[in-house]
Amino acid sequence: MRGARRGASTAQVAAAIIIVVAIIAGAAAWALHRGGGAKTPATTSTPATSTTSPTTSAKGATTTGRKIRVLVLFDVGGKGDLSFNDMAILGAERARKDFGVDIRYETPASTDVMASLLRSASESGKYDLIIGIGFLWLDPMTKVAPDFPNQKYAIIDAAPAKPIKNLEAFVFREQEVAALVGVLAADIAHNLGCNKVGAVAGMDIPPLWRFHIGYLYGVKYYDEHTGANVKLVWTYTGTFTDPQVGKQTAEQMIAKGVCVLYGLAGLTHVGMFDAVKEEAQHGVKVYAIGEDASQEWYDPYHIVLSGLKRVDVAVYDAIKSVVYGNFSGGIYVLGLKDGGLGLSDASMIKYFAELAAQQGKLPKGLTPDDVVRIVMSERKKLIDKQAWNLVHQLMNDIVSGKIKFKTPANHDEYLAIIKQLEAGNLSAALESG
């Protein structure tokens, strides 16, 4: 389902130009609306969930009878990144199956050719929809889309400074998934006899502020309902592309007693995974949590959970809007209610384990079924039923709107919210707080 359309101010542009490369571990979440926050819209968009017949002449076809054509433009990582691009394929192939649309994929040779590739595709007139995966397409889309007002575009995990009429931009409410992860991380730590969880984060930018707020909220939510006293150690590495920095950071945190680490640093937190595995092999009780795509396959004995940013849902929704004739340019924010965020389940774990196996990246001697079995077994050992009940309760309250997270407008407000959360004031993170 489509999220509510949101506006964004010109002053919020800065955060969108930061480049985060995601190869294995996935891109860090990008700006919800540049610089920390969307304003409540005067109107909302119509969700692309109509059950009536498409306005096209036939399902997945234009009024001339030809199939609707969609071009999916990956970032430079291309197919097989085990992250955003592969999640995009999942959504596009579902749309192909459901609507009979024609899907084509293309990967730019470098960031330098992205704008020319987009312009060439637009000039061809071949496509009913062109989708750019990831924020690297933001600048090309912003420059090219206005020149082709009859061409429909979509971009995933980025948004322009202000809405463009022929561009649908999909972004996410990172606090919501991070809060669920925080509850489960706190429970794992508590069951290990440890009172510290941590996060290896990328850069000190608005999307990471939101992850921080949500994660800490989840930890304190767990404390409030269980009487535990779990602390959060949050570390910015300053990079999304350096696994060695991630490994060193994780080693330092583990040495200080952190026993559960949440990876929020793209390629950098692959190094965190390596540190966790090595420390565990030396007898240290420590576990990791992935983010964006299912990352358990990398080390199923020690990565027991992943938060998901459902790029596949955004891609599917964009295609569906064209099929059903209700495409409407604007900025759409996806959360738990929209199916745009979630936690990795057995099917998603297996899907990415199968992709890893196809690429020869699965740990030696393991099959995708082994990965699922190991992860589910570790979850049963480490996470209590009570914690899952709390997750379900929290999820229901978020979906119903009872809990709605505040988006900090600036760095000072972000730090103020964190300080209040650390003091146990959960309402400080909420719009009503």
For the chain, the structural domain boundaries read: 10-173+311-340, 174-309+342-429
Q: What pLDDT is recorded for position 74?
A: 94
| Non-local CB neighbours of 298 within 8 Å, separated by 6+ positions | 24, 270, 273, 290, 356, 363
Euclidean distance between CA atoms 173 and 364, whole angstroms: 36
Name the amino acid, one letter, at 145: A
Confidence of residue 207 (pLDDT cuts 50, 70, 90): confident
Q: What pLDDT is recorded for position 78?
A: 82
What percentage of the chain has pLDDT greater than the value 90?
A: 76
Q: Read off the pTM.
A: 0.79
- Digit-coded pLDDT (tens) for 286-300: 999 999 999 999 999
Residue 425: pLDDT over 90: yes
Q: Greater confidence, 433 or 61?
A: 61
Name which of 433, 432, 431, 418 is nearest 220 in CA terms. Answer: 418
- 3-state SS of 332-401 is EEECCCCCCEEECCHHHHHHHHHHHHHCCCCCCCCCHHHHHHHHHHHHHHHCCHHHHHHHHHHHHHHHHC
The owner of tokens 């119509």 is 46
Q: What pLDDT is recorded for position 432?
A: 77
Q: What pLDDT is recorded for position 62?
A: 60
The answer to whether residues 371 and 350 touch, using CB atoms and an 8 Å cutoff, is yes
The answer to whether residues 413 and 213 touch, using CB atoms and an 8 Å cutoff, is no
Euclidean distance between CA atoms 154 and 159, whole angstroms: 10
User: Mean per-residue pLDDT for 208-223?
Assistant: 97
Euclidean distance between CA atoms 428 and 212, whole angstroms: 13
- Digit-coded pLDDT (tens) for 170-200: 999 999 999 999 999 999 999 999 999 999 9
Q: Are domains 10-173+311-340 and 174-309+342-429 of this chain identical in fold? A: yes
Q: What angle do CA 18, 20, 21 make, to 5 degrees?
A: 150
C-alpha 128: how far from chain center: 26
Which range has the worst mean pLDDT, 32-36, 136-140, 202-206, 252-256?
Answer: 32-36
- Digit-coded pLDDT (tens) for 329-375: 999 999 999 999 999 999 999 999 999 999 999 999 999 999 999 99
48 SS3 class: coil
- Digit-coded pLDDT (tens) for 36-66: 333 223 222 322 333 233 344 456 666 555 7
| Mean per-residue pLDDT of the chain | 86
In terms of CATH, what superfamily is 174-309+342-429? Answer: Response regulator (3.40.50.2300)
Which one of 3.20.20.70, 3.40.50.1970, 3.40.50.2300, 3.40.50.300 gives the CATH number of domain 10-173+311-340? 3.40.50.2300
Name which of 363, 377, 28, 80 is nearest 209 in CA terms. Answer: 28
Confidence of residue 206 (pLDDT cuts 50, 70, 90): confident
